[in-house]
Structure 1
């Protein structure tokens, strides 16, 4: 009997976090995490807002409270239940695509990562879905041709980056305010 009751209590234990993900007492918390579920070679972690809605869920190689080592897709949610981010991790580092979303649930940006560095294509969007900006990253720095767009799809600005710095001639196209 003691074993069953003790197991049930440990499964219901919650760790409380403040807005900066520091472990705190329940009265100072913004989020909480029930005891993670043991899965194959790690733990399934689900964090919650105080209202009981899911804030984050994903697989971790460790069960450490404030610093899990995520591996695979981790999903984050706004308090309204819509997605806020989806991040692919490998051994605790971002590795793959990171998608961010507007509060409405529409895609805000897509950034590709390799071993924790922004690496490859980047795209951002207006909340209405139109492309806003597109370019590439190399080791966290903007590299190559970049373009920004107006909501109507016309180019607003274009130019080139080298090691995160604008180089060469940049062209800016102004909207005709009289049309």
Structure 2
């Protein structure tokens, strides 16, 4: 057992001491290498690891200032795992779970201060379930139900204090009715204006 542990540690140390070389040709991608591109200022722009001719490992993209922009996990030439995006200041911008090149699970977005902004569930690369948007104080701002990548069900909007303000019913991506928390019903004109980016006065 001790011999096995020693061999594992030795292999790990060898791998750490011999990082993948930069790709020069297709043959390198088979034996193992990292493909690199550079910004005009000479700083590293992107690096993608290859093994057996396929992308394998963590691909990375960088801002011009050298800070990390994206991390993309590859397995057998497909995106597999948690993809991450970062702000220029280094804080996490978002994380998205992938399975065989498709989004599978809950994608999350954060503001520059690290506060959770949005959570959206995906199934087989399509939005499926309740997407949530949050205020900076952490309170729920909006709930949007998705079915097969279309808004379907009751979308709920909340005030920053947590009180419900507005509900709009969607069917296959189309708003069909709505009402304010005080009981005021929305007309078709209200719905049309709202879905085109205008607000609704519930007073």
- TM-score of Structure 1 vs Structure 2, range by shorter chain: 0.7 to 0.9
Which structure would you say has the larger RCO, counting Cα contacts within 8 Å and 6 or more residues apart?
Answer: 1
Report matched runs for 1:111-150 at 5 Å. 111-150=120-159
CA contact (8 A) 1:93 1:115 kept: yes
Q: Which of 66, 71, 76 is matched with 1:57 structurally? A: 71
Q: Which residue of 1 aligns with 2:49?
A: 36
Q: Which residue of 2 aligns with 1:93?
A: 102
How far is 1:170 from its partner?
2.4
Report matched runs for 1:160-175 at 5 Å. 160-171=169-180, 173=182
C-alpha distance in 1 between matches for 2:61 and 2:46: 5
How far is 1:38 from its partner?
4.8
Residues 167/84 of structure 1: CA separation in 2 closer, same or farther (3 Å cut):
same
Cα offsets for 1:82-139 (capped at 9, x unmatched): 1111001111111111101112211110000111111111100112211100131011
C-alpha distance in 2 between matches for 1:8 and 1:72: 24
C-alpha distance in 1 between matches for 2:134 and 2:40: 38
C-alpha distance in 1 between matches for 2:149 and 2:73: 25
Which TM-score applies when normalising by structure 2? 0.66
Residues 169/108 of structure 1: CA separation in 2 closer, same or farther (3 Å cut):
closer
C-alpha distance in 2 between matches for 1:90 and 1:8: 28
The unaligned stretches of length 5 or more in structure 1 are 1-6, 17-25, 64-68
4+ runs of 1 displaced by more than 3 Å? Answer: 7-13, 28-31, 37-41, 172-176
The unaligned stretches of length 5 or more in structure 2 are 1-19, 24-32, 183-200
Which TM-score applies when normalising by structure 1? 0.74
Of Structure 1 and Structure 2, the greater strand share is in 1
Residues 41/55 of structure 1: CA separation in 2 closer, same or farther (3 Å cut):
closer
CA contact (8 A) 2:96 2:107 kept: yes
Q: Output the aligned Cα RMSD.
A: 3.0
Residues 161/31 of structure 1: CA separation in 2 closer, same or farther (3 Å cut):
farther
Query: How many residue pairs are counted as aligned between the two chains?
Result: 156
